[in-house]
Every structure is written in C-alpha cells, then in structure tokens.
Structure 1
Amino acid sequence: MNIDFPFHFNNLGLTATTDDDDHIRDMIEQLLFTNPGERVNRPDFGSGLLQLVFAPNSPELAATLQFTMQAALQRWLVDLIDVQALEVISEDSKLQVFVQYLVKRSGEQRTETFIQNSGL
C-alpha cells in the first residue's frame, strides 16, 4: 500500500493509504502542481503550472504548459506510465489538463482531468 495524498489519517487514526492506481494519479497531480525549485534535492521537479496562475490566460499559455508538462511527465514518471495524450485547454479563467496514460505495471489505460484557476 502507498501513503495517500494529500496526507491524512484514516478513520482508525492511522496514516491513510491508497492503491497503486490512485497513487499514480496522486504522483501526476503532485508533479503538475509543484513549482520547479520547491523540492529539496530535486530543483527541476515540477511542471511550472502554478507559476502561471496569475498570467493572462491564452492559447499560447496552454500550448507552453502542454509542452512543459509532457516533458516533466516523461522525465519523472517514465518508469510507471506511458503518456498517450496530454491536452491543456485554456477556457475563461481556468486551465484544464487532460492526461491519458497507460499504467505499465497493469497495462490499464486511464484518463485523468486536473483543473486550475488561472487568474482572478
């Protein structure tokens, strides 16, 4: 079992755990929402998504994020997943990130959606 993200306790007062599929989703979420430089001993870990939260939302921003996220996923999670598709959609005041991937261990294909408000 893996520690669940975000860290919390279960109903027995123990550290909450999760299965492998949810843990992989959690790792993708952490990678997308971590700014490079935040992690000790991993200064280039992250996608830079949160650095652009207050930047003007545009198709160019979405394209830039798509490129940097694809590179980050391939670099940090290549042992666990094969990214099949990644799409970043800039819509009104939010960014939507769709990630379709194949879990290498099980061969299962999964699709996840992450949403980040990009401005006020």
Structure 2
Amino acid sequence: MNIDYPFRFDHRGRTALTDYDEHIRDMIEQFLFTNTGERVNRPDFGSGVLQLVFAPNSPELASTLQFTLQAGLTQWLGDLIEVRKLEVVSLEATIQVEIQYLVRRTQEARTTTLVRRTAS
C-alpha cells in the first residue's frame, strides 16, 4: 500500500493509503499540476501546465505542450508507465488532461482524466 495523494487521514485517523494503480494515477497528477521549480529538492520536477491555462490556444501550443508533457512523464515516471496517448484541453479557467497509459508492472492499460480549475 502507498500513501494517498493529496495527503489526508482515513476514517480511523491514520494516514490514508491507496493501492498501486491509484498511486500511479496520483503520481501522474502530481507531475502534471506541479510547477517547475516548486519542489526544493527536485527543481526540474513538474510540467508547468497550470501556467498555460490563460495562454492563447493554438495548434502549435497544443503540440508543444503534448510533447513536453509526454517527455516529462517519460523522464519522471517512465519506469512505471508507458504513455500511449495524451490530450490537453484548456477552456477559460479550466484545464483538462486525458492520458492513456500502460502500467508496466501489471501490463494493464488505463485511462485517466484530470481536471484543474485555476483560482480566479
């Protein structure tokens, strides 16, 4: 079992735990929604995707973002997952990332959609 993200306490007052597949999903979420430089001991960790919520949308930006996110996920989580498809949609103050990936340990294909609304 792994510590659940975001950190919280369970109904017994203990640190909440999660299974392996959910832990992988939690790590993907942490990478996507952490700004580069936000972590003291890992300044290269993070995607900076939240900084692009208000940037003008264009095919070039979408392609660049997809390439950057896929490269970052491969760097930080490549030993755990293989990214199969990644799509980012930004609409007003909301960003949605859909990712299809293969969990290397179980060889199970998974899809997750992560949505984050920026503070107004």
TM-score normalised by the chain length of structure 2: 0.89
User: How many corresponding residue pairs?
Assistant: 119
The answer for unaligned runs of 5 or more in structure 1 is none
Contact persistence 1:35–1:50 (CA under 8 A): yes
For 2:89 and 2:100, how far apart are their aligned partners in 1? 14
Residue 33 of structure 2 aligns to which amino acid in structure 1? F
Corresponding residue of 1:41: 41
SS at match of 2:100: strand
Residue 89 of structure 1 deviates from its aligned partner by: 2.8
Task: Confirm whether residue 11 of structure 1 aligns to residue 11 of structure 2.
Answer: yes
Task: Render the CA deviation track for 1:29-48: whole Å, top value 9, x for unaligned.
Answer: 00000011011121111111
For 2:108 and 2:67, how far apart are their aligned partners in 1? 24
TM-score normalised by the chain length of structure 1: 0.89
Task: Render the CA deviation track for 1:9-63: whole Å, top value 9, x for unaligned.
Answer: 0000000000000000000000000011011121111111012233234443332
CA RMSD of aligned residues (A): 1.8
Which structure ranks higher in relative contact order (CA pairs < 8 Å, sequence separation ≥ 6)? 1
Superposition pairs of residues 100-115 of structure 1, within 5 angstroms: 100-115=100-115
Residue 65 of structure 1 deviates from its aligned partner by: 1.7
Superposition pairs of residues 1-120 of structure 1, within 5 angstroms: 1-90=1-90, 92-93=91-92, 94-117=94-117
For 1:115 and 1:57, how far apart are their aligned partners in 2? 17
The answer for unaligned runs of 5 or more in structure 2 is none
Residue 78 of structure 1 deviates from its aligned partner by: 0.6
Residue 102 of structure 2 aligns to which amino acid in structure 1? L
